[in-house]
């Protein structure tokens, strides 16, 4: 099983700040199969960034993703209040699909 470790577990940022969260895999993942989800409290996860760096429909351009191999990241160039959520990475490098433990982003 390919274990995904996200860091930090919780982060706090002020509006306008740039933030970066990371996702590290125990084994290499094809960049085509590393995805990110946003989940707000009480809601379902939303497909957010797919195949490492492609924004899903409706995702603001202040979000970006990068990485390769075992190390991936999600960056928000200028955080806004609406970005408060938990972000999960997910991979497919063979069964089972796995998710990271999530990074909770709080807005000051």
Partner 1 sequence: QVQLQQSGAELMKPGASVKISCKATGYTFSTYWMEWVKQRPGHGLEWIGEIFPGSGSTNYNEKFKGKATFTADPSSNTAYIQLSGLTSEDSAVYYCARERSGGFDCWGQGTLVTVSA
Sheet holding 71-76, edge to edge: 4-7, 19-25, 71-76, 63-68
Let me know if 49 is exposed, middle or buried by CB neighbors in 10 A (0-12, 13-18, 19+).
Answer: buried
| Smallest gap from residue 91 Cβ to partner 1 (A) | 8
Query: Taking CB under 8 A as the criterion, which residues in 25-64 touch partner 1?
Result: 32-33, 35, 37, 44-47, 50-51, 56
Rule CB under 8 A: is residue 96 a binding residue for partner 1?
yes
Residues that bind partner 1 (CB under 8 A): 32-33, 35, 37, 44-47, 50-51, 56, 88, 90-92, 95-102
């Amino acid at each position: 099983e390919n274990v995904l470790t996200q860091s930090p577990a919780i982060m706090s940022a002020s509006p306008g700040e740039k933030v970066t969260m990371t996702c590290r895999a125990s084994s290499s993942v094809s960049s085509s199969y590393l995805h990110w989800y946003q989940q707000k409290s009480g809601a379902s996860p939303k497909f957010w960034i797919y195949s490492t760096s492609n924004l899903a429909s409706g995702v603001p351009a202040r979000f970006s993703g990068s990485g390769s191999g075992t190390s991936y990241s999600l960056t928000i160039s200028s955080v806004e209040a609406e970005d408060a959520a938990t972000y999960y990475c997910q991979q497919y490098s063979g069964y089972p699909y796995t998710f990271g433990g999530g990074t909770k982003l709080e807005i000051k």
